[in-house]
Each structure stands twice: as structure tokens, then as C-alpha cells.
Amino acid sequence: MIIRVAIFEDNEPLRESLSFLIMGSDKLELAGAWPDCSSVIDNCASTRPDVILMDIDMPGISGIEATAMIKSRFPDINILILTIFEDKTKVFDALCAGATGYLLKKSSAVEILEAIEDLHRGGSPMTGEIARKVIDFFGSPDPGRPGEYELSTREIDILRCLLEGDSYKMIADKCCISIGTVRFHINHIYRKLHVNSKSEAVIKAMKERLVKF
């Protein structure tokens, strides 16, 4: 099966190099290549890629923001972050947004091609340094103390949905409440957990094992 690959990269020489790399493989097909994510939903709707190579630092909409947008509309598209950033905040923000692979731009052409195929087969390819950060983070989880935060049953249900990557609309449908009520509960969750974003809430919930599946 031919794997359709789209590229979002603002560095023109790199974008062209990646495009030629994809076109040179007999297992891949270039679905499209764009310098920014200003029309990312329309781009995905018109080209229907199987895998996306996504930069993080782009003008306007960032790669992490675009990843969340894509996954909310096209959950079956696999997104491979390809970036220079290796700090854990960027890593976890990208993973929480829905990325399923994370490579550094210093990766070789062979590594990028192998990662695309691995991702399409259901794997989660990561550069060695990135995988170590993930392992270190979850290697020594803090003891779970969900009662300490006084989360209600509804808030725990919504937090579980966030961990599963659900959008606000999906949470509203699952919990039979309005999107406005979802936002209300999420704001309460942020306040109780002493966090300021979805990624921070998800990371804290995973690290302290606040939600049982």
C-alpha cells in the first residue's frame, strides 16, 4: 500500500528536500507540501494524507496547534513531529496534542523514511533522545492522590476524556452536556490541579495516576 505523506515546513530548502525524499520512495506518495498551517484543515481535506511531517515553529499557527486541529477533524491521520526542539515541554505538548511520533531534524533520510512507515504500521517512532525524556518522565511516577485535589466524579470523567485525546465536542457528546459546560468543568480542573493548559493537566494526571481506565 502506498503511504500518502503531507509536509508542513516553513524552511523552503528543507521542505523541498523532504518532498524529493518522499517522491524518491516507491512506498510513499507526496500528498502536498506547505510553508505554514494557515489552511491546514482544507489542505488535509483536499489531499487526505495518511501521515503528516509537521514542524513546530512556523509563522501563525504553530505545529502543535495545527496537530490538535488536525486530530480533532481527522483522527486517523498520523502526525510525525520533525523539529529542532527537544525540550520536554515541546515534546509533551506535541504528544498531548495528538502527535504519534517525534523526530529531530538531525535525523537521517533513512531514519525519516523508516519512521513514516513505522508510524503507518501503528508504531510511535521517536529519536533516541526524545524517547529517553519520555521514559525518564514516566519512570518514577508520583504516588496517585486523586482525593487531594477534590476532583468531582464529573471532573474525573472529563479528565479521562482529555487523556484519551477527545475534543471539547467529543467530551460534550460522551458526557451528554454542552460545550460550554465542558469548558466550565475544565476551568475548574485546571484550578484544582494548579495547571494552566490541557497538556499540563494531562501530564499531571498521567504522572500522578489520577485517572483509572
Q: Tell me the domains of the chain and their CATH numbers.
A: 3-138 (3.40.50.2300), 146-207 (1.10.10.10)
- List phi, psi (to 5°) of 210: -80, -15
pLDDT at 143 over 60: no
Whether 146 shows a pLDDT value over 70: the answer reads no
Mean pLDDT of the chain: 86
- For residues 100 and 97, what is the distance between their CA atoms, to the nearest angstrom? 9
The pLDDT value recorded for residue 168 is 83
Q: For residue 200, is it left (φ>0), alpha (ψ between -120 and 50) or beta? A: alpha
pLDDT reported for residue 207: 72
pLDDT higher than 70, residue 53: yes
Q: Identify the pLDDT of residue 211.
A: 78
pLDDT interval class at 130 (50, 70, 90):
confident
Please say if the pLDDT value at position 148 is more than 80. Answer: no
What gap in Å lies between CA 93 and CA 18, rounded to an integer? 24
The larger pLDDT score, comparing residue 159 to residue 141, is at: 159
